Structures are given as C-alpha cells and as structure tokens.
Amino acid sequence: MNEQAARAHALGFWSALVITLLGAAYFLVVLGALLAGHFSPPREWLQLFGGIVSLLACPVLVAMMAGLHAATGPARKVFSLLAFGFTLLFAAAVSINRFTQLGVVRQSLAACSVEGIGWFLPYGERSVMLGLEFLGWSWFLGMALLCCAPLFSGGRRQRWLRALALLYAVLALTSAVGFLAWGLVLYVFTGLLAAHFRWGGDRDHQGPSVRAGTGVSRSAGGLR
C-alpha cells in the first residue's frame, strides 16, 4: 500500500470510528430518555445533546467520505465524488440548522425574545429548522449513501456495506422511517466501514483493496 492509499485508509478508519462512537453514545442517551419518558417531546437537555452530536458529526462525515473517495479506484471514482459532494451539502444544511439552534434560538429564548422564533424552533409546528434537518439527513445523506453503494463489491463485508448503504438510502429518501436510518442504520454502516478500512486490505479477496505491502490493486474499480 503506497503512502497516499495508507493516508486515505487511516482517514477513513478514524473518521468512521468516531462517527460510530458518537452514534453509540447518541443511541444510549436516546434509549435512556425513552425509558425515562423524556423523549416525546424531547426535553431541552436532550435537544442540546442531539444538537452537539449532530454538529460534531458533520465535519467527521465529510472527512470519512473524503477518505472513501481518495481510496476508491479510477473506475468508480465518479460515484465516490458524488457521495462526497452530497455529504458536503448534508453538512452545510445540518450545520446551519444545529448552529442556529445552539446559538440564536437558545439566546433568544433565554432573553424571552420569542417574536418570530417559532419557525426556528427544532420541533416547532412550522419549523424551518426541522425541514433543514430532513433535507440534510434524509435527502442529501440519503443520496450520498446511494452513490456509495456501487463502491462495494466482492467479499462478504463489502456486500454488507452495499446493502446497508442501500437500506439507509431507501429509508432516508422515503422519509417515512427516516429517523431509523439516521439513528441506527448509519452507525452500523460506519462501524462496518471502519472495520473495512482497518482490515479489508488483507481479508477481502475480491474486494476493492490493496494487498498489503505489494501496492497491487485487487480491483480496479473499488477501494484501493
């Protein structure tokens, strides 16, 4: 594996691992809130926690997709580039939403200045911010994962990655059960992707990775 490929795999591994850990923490906190009856409607502390996790996840997901794009072979690089582009749009939409929630909205509520703030509440009746959240997690990230699916072929791990990417895309783009995709399927996908970046090069005989130490690609189309 050459130096560029090694850096791409390292970036992909660490960013996918961080996203998985953030997702696990979020899942445990939400589960605790559900059991305690604090989820519907979400309490302020839960909204704050979710906002911070989402804001942190945005640049890390961009880094993960950058690593995936850099590690993809020329034949399929158009798909990884599309996935990276849609992830940038996702990060922009969700970051605007969460930064507004954590900054302007909280300060306005603390100052009892609520005129016109209804559209910017995260769960308001006509919330623009909730629309941005769905735009990011459902539409843009759904399209990103849909474009990721063709990158994986060959070994069992890659077949699972392809299936999870397609599952997220279907659930997110239909928006009927979008939260299931955001809160569970995505983090299973990133956990498996971290494992693929860490060990895929030595174990996926037909996968898109490089034989360790040789620099010879086993698949011209997929990850190098």
Residue-level pLDDT at 144:
97
48: pLDDT confidence band, cut at 50, 70 and 90? confident
Mean pLDDT of 98-116: 69
Contact between 75 and 16 under an 8 Å Cβ cutoff? The reply is no
Q: What pLDDT, on the 0 to 100 scale, is given for residue 84? A: 98
pLDDT at position 100 is 81
Omega before 208 within 30 of 0, i.e. cis: no
More confident residue, 169 or 114: 169
pLDDT of residue 111: 60
* Mean pLDDT, range 97-116, rounded to an integer: 70
Give 111-133 pLDDT, tens digit per residue: 666 666 666 666 666 677 788 88
Is the pLDDT confidence value at 220 over 80? no
Per-chain mean pLDDT for the chain:
81
pLDDT of 80 over the 50 cut:
yes
Torsion of CA 34, 194, 77, 206, to 10 degrees: -120
Give the span between the Cα atoms of 24 and 43, in whole angstroms: 20
- Of residues 29 and 86, the one with the higher pLDDT is 86
- Domain boundary assignment for the chain: 3-201
Q: Which of 43, 19, 25 is nearest to 33 (CA)?
A: 43
Q: Within 13 Å and on the Cβ side, how many CA atoms surround 20?
A: 15
